[in-house]
Structure 1
Amino acid sequence: MKLISIKRHTRTEKRFSPKMGKLHTKVTYIKKQFLSIPFKTLHKYRETYYGEVKDCKDCQLAR
């Protein structure tokens, strides 16, 4: 049994980009887990409408 594992989880979120405005996009989280309990997010990214992969730092959460 592994003590530390890495999992990917994708979910739909509301995001805001200054150029495009409000958008609903799939955001993928890469998380480190200890005994299947997530404790650290290593990276999160999103896929654009055109298939590009972008980091989530360039867009803010919509409120």
Structure 2
Amino acid sequence: MAQTDTPLVSVVVSTRGNTANVRSLLEALAAQTLSGGQMEAGVVDNDLPGPVRPVAERCTRR
């Protein structure tokens, strides 16, 4: 069976009303054992004023 570029796991996180826990969630996702090509995470910053973007960007750089 040939490998594809499609991730095995996709995680979508809505931050509405839960901004305080986003950093720990993203750090836990970054610490999992799948390689970067096997997992993707999408963060939906729908909690105004939207302080989540800087947190998500820091986790992306790891």
TM-score range, shorter chain: under 0.3
Between structures 1 and 2, the one with greater helix share: 2
When normalised by structure 1's length, the TM-score is: 0.27
Larger RCO: Structure 1 or Structure 2 (Cα < 8 Å, ≥ 6 residues apart)?
Answer: 2
Q: In terms of Rg, which structure is larger? A: 1
TM-score under structure 2 normalisation?
0.28
Greater strand share, structure number: 1
